[in-house]
Structure 1
Amino acid sequence: MSTSKHDLFKTIAQAHPQLRKSERKVADYVLEHRAKIVQMRIVDLAAAADVSEPTVVRFCRALDFDGFQDFKLNLAQFVGTNTSYQQFRLDSRDSVEQFKEKIFDSTVGNLMRVKSDLDATNLEQAIAALAACKRLDCYGFGASAPICSDAQHKFFRLNISAAAYSDPHLQTMAAVTLKPGDVVIAVSQTGRTKDLLHTTELAMDAGATVIALCPSNTPLAEQVQIPLYIDLDEDKELNTLMSSRITQMVVIDVLAVGVTMKLGEETMIHLKTIKRSLKNLRTPAKRIK
């Protein structure tokens, strides 16, 4: 099979003019509903594209696949690894269904990419530093600030003294009062924010360990002791980088779970105590008759 998984959708688009009219209907559906196809049976795709099952098979073979299952396998691999799948552009002509698909597809693709790219050694170092820390500060500006608040919440529940700062003056004052054994989590979508570079440098000068969630090959990634690279493909013209915050929050979850496991049974008992203490704050669930 000559088609490479790394240019699958480009191959479909290039082959589109040469396909039969009915096969083009399959191609159009596949291009607009990329993530769905992996979960579909051939009968589902045929019905959705309003063609026959043999037409779906002919479409797959026209692209030099052995059949629908071979095509679907390569599509699944492409979705999980190819960066062009993760990037998208919103169009003013997009329907709600179309931009919904694009946003979900982009987010899922970016999550899978970061999952495979995260360095296990750096993760282990970050978890070890957090588990041993006496104090945790979380620094971030703009859209990164809510991620820091989430991190504060996660680690506070683990009985770690944690605080989140999104003001440059407060960050500076906090950074210079850190001591060896303390940890900073710095979150940045660009890795180039001057104020964040300044406060993380102050934190390291004070003897703290800095963990950064940021893109690779950026000033922040190169400055800190433990970088956790989050390289995403997104529409840079959007005011909000959509899947950045979701991916960053998942990485925070990974760190929090890692610290919980490292701290052991005592922390698990502490979490159960917190859960019991919150019980009276919730309305009891209705029993299903």
Structure 2
Amino acid sequence: MLPRIETIRAQLRPSERKLADFVLAAPREVLDLSMTELAARAGASQPTIARFCQALGCSGFREFKIRLAQSVAPGVASVYRDVEPDERAPGIIGKVFDRTIGALIEVRNSLSATSVAEAIELLTRASRIEFYGAGGSGIAAQDIQHKFFRLGVPSVAYSDPHTFSMSAALLGANDVVVAISNTGRTRDIVDAARAALACGAKVISITHSHSPLAQLSTVSLASNVAEETDVFSPMTSRMSHLAIGDILAVGVALRRGPELVDRLGRAKEAITRRRIGTDAKAQKETGKDATKVAASGVAGDAAESAQQAARAQAPQVGEKTRIARDIEDVKD
């Protein structure tokens, strides 16, 4: 809610803008006020408050307070203060984290579970998945694709407009495009999404809900993060895109179930072998007393057998939890 107020602030009437500033400065105080009390404290009329709530997409003052309460989470700074040019390290740390956490909470509260389920279904049945993004969104596209290629579905990420424009024109009915854009108004991304749809492919967008890209998408996942205008502000939109990408990757992995266990295990093993210190630890182990090595080997076999037995008896929910955890474990 707070990032949303910041986004529309410049579009409001002067009286509504004054009210917006009061809410941004003291959101927790607003939660304890009636409409009459808020009007008196903010120097605004009740009709102004009603128009302000409607501008935020709320049916009335009651819904506004509910959504504001969801936005103001315990432990997260409620005032979105800009980083100053002379800001010292403690202030930079606090403001960057507070703004990022606040944006993620706002996206979590506004994300439609129905839309997420539809997107997961499309991705699970896809023959090929292509991720498109330009600029900073291109980095997010590459990160999300890095998670998906381990799931056994052919996938690529393109950030060059010429490349994803050509690729979109070659897609088929069983293919899915995940188009990422903070504003949803980047012409190259919108045109590529439109070209993919013309070929029969499905388009999932991670973007602002009231944008051209969202309107033409098969499924749109709302990431309504205020566009940063201050040069010192953190790029919170990228973090929300990555979080939504994680949600989709985990959802697809859970849908595919046990068939992914061996694949993720081999991927994790390949990464582990490339970590510094792994070989040294193995060499140190081989240099131990032979008796101790043998004993540890027997113990290890017994432990492994016990673990296998436990896994065999574990409920399906436990298996799904392990799959989701393995996805996060396979990192550089």
Same fold (TM over 0.5): yes
Corresponding position of 2:224? 231
Aligned equivalents of 1:217, 1:142: Cα separation in 2: 21
1:10 equivalent to 2:3? Answer: no
What is the CA distance between 1:93 and its match in structure 2?
3.6
Corresponding position of 1:151? 144
Superposed counterparts of 1:195-274, under 5 Å: 195-233=188-226, 235-238=228-231, 242-274=235-267
Corresponding position of 1:53? none
Aligned-partner residue type, residue 117 of structure 1:
S
**Structure 1 segments (4+ residues) deviating >6 Å:** 11-14
For residues 204-245 of structure 1, the C-alpha deviation after alignment (integer angstroms, 9 at most, x for no partner) is 111111111111111111111110010113532338751111
Tell me, what secondary structure is at the counterpart of 1:186? strand
Aligned equivalents of 1:11, 1:251: Cα separation in 2: 27
Asked which structure has the greater CA Rg, the reply is: 2
Deviates more, 1:225-234 or 1:135-144: 225-234
Contact persistence 1:191–1:218 (CA under 8 A):
yes
Superposed counterparts of 1:179-198, under 5 Å: 179-198=172-191
Contact persistence 2:116–2:221 (CA under 8 A):
yes
Aligned equivalents of 1:12, 1:178: Cα separation in 2: 50
Corresponding position of 1:19? none
1:172 equivalent to 2:188? Answer: no
Q: Which ranges in structure 1 are unaligned for 5 or more consecutive residues?
A: 1-5, 15-74
1:142 equivalent to 2:135? Answer: yes
Aligned equivalents of 1:143, 1:240: Cα separation in 2: 15
Aligned equivalents of 1:229, 1:12: Cα separation in 2: 25
Corresponding position of 1:276? 269
Structure 2 counterpart of 1:104, from 80, 97, 100: 97
Cα RMSD (Å): 2.8
1:202/1:234 CA distance change after superposition, 3 Å = closer
For residues 242-278 of structure 1, the C-alpha deviation after alignment (integer angstroms, 9 at most, x for no partner) is 1111111011000000000001100122111211233
Aligned equivalents of 1:249, 1:229: Cα separation in 2: 13
Aligned equivalents of 1:269, 1:77: Cα separation in 2: 40
What is the CA distance between 1:95 and its match in structure 2?
2.1
TM-score (norm 1): 0.70
1:239/1:180 CA distance change after superposition, 3 Å = farther
Q: Which ranges in structure 2 are unaligned for 5 or more consecutive residues?
A: 1-21, 31-67, 282-332
What is the CA distance between 1:91 and its match in structure 2?
1.9
Aligned-partner residue type, residue 88 of structure 1:
R
Contact persistence 2:26–2:79 (CA under 8 A):
no
What is the CA distance between 1:108 and its match in structure 2?
0.6
1:88 equivalent to 2:81? Answer: yes
Deviates more, 1:103-112 or 1:229-238: 229-238
Tell me, what secondary structure is at the counterpart of 2:78? helix
Contact persistence 1:141–1:167 (CA under 8 A):
yes
For residues 164-186 of structure 1, the C-alpha deviation after alignment (integer angstroms, 9 at most, x for no partner) is 11111111110011001101010
Aligned equivalents of 2:103, 2:133: Cα separation in 1: 21
For residues 81-134 of structure 1, the C-alpha deviation after alignment (integer angstroms, 9 at most, x for no partner) is 9x9936332222432211221110011111111111110010001001111100
What is the CA distance between 1:11 and its match in structure 2?
7.4
Aligned residues: 221
Contact persistence 2:71–2:102 (CA under 8 A):
no
For residues 29-68 of structure 1, the C-alpha deviation after alignment (integer angstroms, 9 at most, x for no partner) is xxxxxxxxxxxxxxxxxxxxxxxxxxxxxxxxxxxxxxxx
